[in-house]
Structure 1
């Protein structure tokens, strides 16, 4: 083997988790069904605007998605620590599928009822808020610990691909078949995820079982506060998304710098996901990083600085390249954050940790949208965009490096200590 071949193997995507049949089915099922989920998300936005001709009504999809995610994400994580996770994944999947069925029926019936659509979106969000933390808690039960980071990379890569393919598919399906066809395709693609859940082994809870409810949720939050390593994995993520996420500023940049070009807006919207997919393909090295706390701190600083640099770029290709670099750093940070949660926390806490993780992942970018929009209105595009990125880099370095346990966390030493 040449040195070049050896080097490529070291950085190429680690696919060894795919040797585990249960995980392989889960990943493929998640990927296929997530394309349908993204397809429906685009179709719902388009249908609500078509009915109301109001962006305000489309904006109400934000709270309709976020509020159930916060409430049922925490509760769903608590349940995942107390019951067979396979059964819970199946139950949450059925809830999400019923929401798609409701959307399909109301469209075929020609009801054009925006309230019914929003109720269906809430129901879909409830199903997602149950299945997502449950699926995250299942992965460490299917794989040896040293393969969890690689499995998370595959998961985020599949999700990034779905975030690209779903909207592209929506553009074709909505033109050719309309909203009903979009929901029908989603309902069919859902079958892949449901089949994967059915084929999972029994996953009864391990360790001490606490009754799911408010007390269980509080216990999970108390665990986070008492463990600096876990607490910091959430803190640095909130800093990254709340300060540096530039998504809400894409329309303004397209209008002011690129003459309102829809092509430019499309490239801006896809740029972060492009970087995430690219990083996923060349991610073989991620699982070999031991000092994940220190590495996570620096990679989020890179995310902030590349986002800040993009604010000053005058050529579209350069803005896209810089945002793609930020997207690559974001995927790396997501893999390490998820891996820390799944391997550091005991099994009886993993469901609740995944529930909080999902709430942070869902809520952080929305806080970032609010921060970006408010500061852009007050100070202009470049100060809001670049200032947020710089603030992210500075804050994450101060925060991450000041907590000794997080700074010195060694994933391999922690694993050997348990043995």
Structure 2
């Protein structure tokens, strides 16, 4: 097996191990919080928005570290610390101290702010351009198979062993991820990171400057931040769908349907075998918005929301795979970590606002989804208009 093939296998194994642990952990935590009665909305807002606010603060610094430090070492150290944090919450948690979930989630978000841009940037160190598209399609497809299994396994684990089981599973997943990352093999000898070190503020300015002079990156940046405002409302509302639909496992089935939609989207993207332009792949946002717009008006049976959420998620997958692959192949390697961190920082900038905004809506009404979908539809229409004006 060639070095790049080994790297693809390791990248996928690491990503999916990490994803599995996080999904089981997050699924259990959100169900636990949603069952806290009158305090549920308050804790859900803190749980969801806390990690977003941390991301806004730390993502830019994480991107600088990804470009100026040893990327493999950053991944290993942050995953080991995440394993320790989730193991501690497993030891100490009880339903009387639900705030501990919020605190540990913030700690994990800080570590993720360094881990995420580094993981995305290291792909260019490990794979050639042709294999980056191949890896992203394979990874997304396998990732969604994991997403199908995780809610089901999470449901059984939590029913049999309680909410703390997800915490222990997540701690183990971080440990396995760190072991896999240690075996990554760069395809070229990387530049000594010490030679690239510079002040954090100067490095940030260079990252912003790189994006500012690229019109397409700016369009992606603004559209992502607006889409995520409404997506925050969608994520906030999902754990309450059990109450909306009067069906005990609706939330789990929606998560599974989203994963099935993502598998189909990633598979179709891989079969195309080509990258699309921003003008082409932006139209997939229409497929993201429309199913959510109509959801409240056709939710007469629990199966309808399941199908519509899965359809919307599938279109979002195609959009995201195309966007990430385009960034990983076109952005200069020495700027990649900062470009990713800037894009993700600005993209999540309005998510806390979105979370608290939609927390004012009724937790038991399907109408919240119509507002989410309508907002995403407006973002799509404005994005298409801006892209067209740039091609005249």
CA distance in 2, matches of 1:293, 1:374: 35
Distance in 1 (alpha carbons) for counterparts of 2:105 and 2:387: 37
Query: Which secondary structure state, in structure 1, belongs to the residue aligned with residue 327 of structure 2?
Result: helix
Partner of 1:396: 383
Q: Tell me, yes or no, if structure 1 residue 37 matches structure 2 residue 22.
A: yes
Give the TM-score, by structure 2 length. Answer: 0.83
Residues 1-37 of structure 1 show CA distances to partners (whole Å, capped at 9, x for unaligned) of xxxxxxxxxxxxxxx9996102211211220122112
The yes-or-no answer on 1:195 pairing with 2:170 is no
Q: CA deviation at 1:233?
A: 2.1
The yes-or-no answer on 1:242 pairing with 2:229 is yes
State the Cα distance separating 1:106 from its structure 2 match: 1.4
| Equivalence for 2:220 | 233
Aligned to 1:355: 341
The 2-side partners of 1:182 and 1:347 are apart by 36
| Unmatched 5+ stretches in structure 2 | none
Task: Write the distance in 2 (CA, Å) between the matches of 1:397 and 1:227.
Answer: 17
Shift in CA distance, 318/401, structure 1 to aligned 2, threshold 3 Å: farther
Judged with a 3 Å threshold, the aligned counterparts in structure 2 of structure 1 residues 50 and 311 are, in CA distance, closer, same or farther, namely closer
Q: 1:134-283 to 2 correspondence within 5 Å?
A: 134-201=118-185, 204-205=190-191, 209-211=196-198, 213-243=200-230, 246-250=234-238, 258=245, 260-283=246-269
TM-score normalised by length of structure 1: 0.78
The answer to whether the aligner puts 1:297 opposite 2:319 as a matched pair is no
Question: How well do the aligned residues superpose, as a CA RMSD in angstroms?
Answer: 3.5
Change (3 A) 1:358 1:279: same
Provide the C-alpha distance between the structure 2 equivalents of 1:305 and 1:182, rounded to a whole number of angstroms. 34
Give yes or no for the alignment of 1:105 onto 2:91.
yes
Whole-angstrom distance in 1 between the partners of 2:361 and 2:171: 40
Partner of 1:410: none
Contact 2:293 2:370 in 1 (8 A): no
Residue by residue over 1:178-199, the C-alpha shift from the partner in whole angstroms, topping out at 9 and shown as x without a partner, is 3443322222222331121110
Change (3 A) 1:364 1:335: farther
Deviating more after overlay: 229-238 vs 82-91: 229-238
In structure 2, C-alpha distance between the alignment counterparts of 1:220 and 1:399, rounded to whole Å: 23
- Equivalent residue runs for 1:331-370 within 5 Å: 331-359=317-345, 362=348, 369=355
Partners of 1:42 and 1:51 lie apart in 2 by 15
CA distance in 2, matches of 1:64, 1:72: 12
| Residues matched between the structures, number | 385
Checking the alignment, whether the CA contact within 8 Å between 2:47 and 2:102 is kept in structure 1 is: yes
1:151 Cα deviation after fit = 1.8
Q: Which digits, 9 at most, give the CA deviation of each residue in 1:98-118, with x for residues without a partner?
A: 2112212314xx695445443
Shift of 1:345: 1.2
The answer to whether the 8 Å contact 1:73/1:359 transfers is yes
Change (3 A) 1:322 1:63: closer
Whole-Å separation in 2 of the counterparts to 1:384 and 1:63: 19
Per-residue deviation, 1:351:
0.7
Retained in 1: the 8 A contact 2:296–2:367?
A: no
State the Cα distance separating 1:147 from its structure 2 match: 2.5
Of 65, 69, 77, the match for 2:51 = 65
Structure 1 gap ranges (5+): 1-15, 408-419
Tell me the distance in 2 between the aligned counterparts of 1:116 and 1:254.
25
Does the Cα contact within 8 Å between 2:288 and 2:313 map onto a contact in 1?
A: yes
**Whole-angstrom distance in 2 between the partners of 1:371 and 1:157:** 33
- Residue pair 2:59, 2:345 contacting (<8 A) in 1 also: yes
Counterparts of 2:102 and 2:359, CA distance in 1: 24
Distance in structure 1 (CA, Å) of the matches to 2:277 and 2:322: 6
Q: Distance in 2 between matches of 1:326 and 1:49?
A: 24
Q: In the alignment, is residue 89 of structure 1 matched against residue 72 of structure 2?
A: no
In 1, the alpha carbon distance for the partners of 2:38 and 2:299 equals 34
Alignment equivalent of 2:104, drawn from 100, 120, 145: 120
* Equivalence for 1:4: none
Of 361-370 and 114-123, more deviation after overlay is shown by 361-370
